[in-house]
Structure 1
Amino acid sequence: METRPDVLDKLMERKSFENQFLPNALRKFFNEVEAPNARNEYLSLLLDRFSLRFVASNPGTGLSKEMVFILCYSLILLSVDLCSPHVKNKMSKREFIRNTRRATTPISDDFLGHLYDNIYLVGHVAPTTACSY
């Protein structure tokens, strides 16, 4: 799909992430669409399309497409940080909230804390890439 964004668009039209918690919806997405092995334009394209569909499926959340995009990227970075054996000092919940709040000011600390807890307890959002970012 990297070379065929039109196919990705058609696939996304068929997806619904209604009433799903953001990290769980992102996991579901990456279980169906293989995540790239590196940060690149294709990852940005995937997150852009996912964010658009997530917001369309959950209009009552008050989250914009841009905020969901930033949160998704933050969740991927957190996932890699928490599961990588190469990272000695794991990101704390307080650090995640502080760093993410800077980019998404209207989101509550409680919500950001729940995002962190989900990644910490459930695991990586893109298991097929296992810590390769």
Structure 2
Amino acid sequence: MAAKDDLGRAGEERATRFLTGIGYDILDRNWRCPQGEIDIVARTRDHLAIVEVKTRRTERFGHPFEAVDARKLGRLWQLGYAWVAEHPKQARGLALRVEAVAVIGDDPEVGVLEHLVDLA
């Protein structure tokens, strides 16, 4: 399990650097509440992004984005609203959206990174 956790943490680190590099301001990481956890909360110019990061060594069992199904998406929206309720000043004036980052490869530092913006 530790190796899987290490891979996930490395993927989140890479995703954080990627998002920062394209102009996102990271507000929170691994934020937890009774309903679950948000990997990354970030601010863009006019959006508050709830970002799910999925890291996989291969696509052997499907693309990482396939793990963000309707149930997971619903939970991410709930978590986003919970974060906003707890951080009203940081969220003021921003439209909420859910995003996903996939990192694929044995080494997340050099693996493929894909970013989906504004999931339905």
Question: More helix by proportion, 1 or 2?
Answer: 1
Give the TM-score category using the shorter length. 0.3 to 0.5
Question: More strand by proportion, 1 or 2?
Answer: 2
Higher RCO (Cα < 8 Å, 6 or more apart): 1
What TM-score, normalized to structure 2? 0.35
